Amino acid sequence: MTERTFQELLEPYAFANGAALKNRVVMAPMTNFAANPDGTVSDEELAYYERRSGGVGMVITACVYVSAGGKGFPGEFGADKDELIPSLKRLADTIKGQGAKAVLQIFHGGRQCPPDLLPDGQTVSASAVPAELPGGGQGPVPRELTDAEIESIIAAFGETTRRAIEAGFDGVEIHGANGYLVQQFFSPHSNRREDRWGGSLEKRLTFPLAVLREVKKAAAKHAGPEAFIVGYRFSPEEPETPGITMAETFALVDALTAEGLDYLHVSLREFWSLPHRGTEDKRSRIEQIVDRAGGKAPVIGVGSLYKAEDAAQALNSGVALVALGRPLLIDPDWVEKVEADRALDIETELDPSAQERLVIPNYLWGAITNTPGWMPVKG
């Protein structure tokens, strides 16, 4: 029996703006908790990215905060001031030096930020509604943002885009997923406002679309004739009631594609996961989203695609690109093995003795190995 070559994963891809990728595989954004205390990228982080940037066509970095009040993780690297541009350039150069496009994920954590990481210790959000925690209970009550503060955060997304361009990144991805601030404004759970920023579904779209417009404006102004990629990542549903449904997700897809952007990135833990509410269609969320995007923007899919066969099957759903997060933590040579017709050699379980070989930063390694169920681990 001959081994499949999975050539479909290795085909080049070009975005509508002309930016070209060498293949269809993307490194998904993953927080690694390894930045220096001043927000600069650490040598440990650079080594981690260098180890994983050689095979994939594009690397989407861990998220960076656009303002100090939006820092969401310990050890998160920043992009909220010009002094950090040299640090960002080191990262862009490291990724691009391995042959991949470098995309900076930009974000504000909103009510999800740990208060002890914030300058004034106060989380903020669309409304003063705490997050529901997965294990039960609630997070801290955020302060509702003022109109002027909202405008300032929108401007910060644009300024961070400028810094990404000056640092040499090939694009940015707006982080509108996983319950962070951009999603908080779209969600009926976290946005209870009755002004221009909230109330109706249309008004809850105001902030995400304003961020996208500001990012696109900065790209047009500062990237010049270069093909600069602007993407948007979103979570298709929320478990909370009220919360985002598939019907509202479709409205978001419609609004984003009407504005124009280079790709949509669907944040899923399981690629083929099924919808819960807001659609009568029984197909997977990703298939319905691809249909809704209707060719107006390519879709990136992600979620537990550990084997080459999994990723190849995912492409059959209609997504343009597949993103690998945990699979590249487990096996940084995932793409290279496909290229060498060694797909059966891809490791699909984490080797608990291989931190050094896998070049995984200490804090992230601790988080992985102390969080049962995060990813498959060799017994």
List per-residue pLDDT tens for the chain, 379 residues long: 346 789 999 999 999 999 999 999 999 999 999 999 999 999 999 999 999 999 999 999 999 999 999 999 999 999 999 999 999 999 999 999 999 999 999 999 999 999 999 999 999 999 999 999 988 999 999 999 999 999 999 999 999 999 999 999 999 999 999 999 999 999 999 999 999 999 999 999 999 999 999 999 999 999 977 799 999 999 999 999 999 999 999 999 999 999 999 999 999 999 999 999 999 999 999 999 999 999 999 999 999 999 999 999 999 999 999 999 999 999 999 999 999 999 999 999 999 999 999 999 999 999 999 999 999 999 8
Instruction: Tell me which residue has tokens 């995007």.
Output: 293
Neighbours of 245 (CB within 10 A): 19
In this structure, are residues 235 and 183 in contact, taking their beta carbons and an 8 Å threshold? yes
Instruction: Look at residue 224 in the predicted model and tell me its pLDDT.
Output: 78
CA-nearest of 167, 169, 180 to 107 is: 180
Angle, nearest 10°, between helix axes 246-259 and 285-293?
30
Instruction: Tell me which residue has tokens 């790209």.
Output: 219
Query: Any alpha helices (H) in 98-170, and if so which ranges?
Result: 147-166
Instruction: Look at residue 236 in the predicted model and tell me its pLDDT.
Output: 97
Token pair listed for 360: 């995984």
In this structure, are residues 76 and 62 in contact, taking their beta carbons and an 8 Å threshold? yes
Instruction: Look at residue 2 in the predicted model and tell me its pLDDT.
Output: 47
Residue type, 342: R
Task: State the catalytic residues.
Answer: 180
* Omega cis (within 30) before 242: yes
Residue 252 to residue 351: CA distance in whole angstroms: 40
| All structural domains of the chain | 7-369 (3.20.20.70)
The whole-angstrom distance between residue 33's C-alpha and the CA centroid of its chain comes to 15
Instruction: Look at residue 15 in the predicted model and tell me its pLDDT.
Output: 97
pTM: 0.98
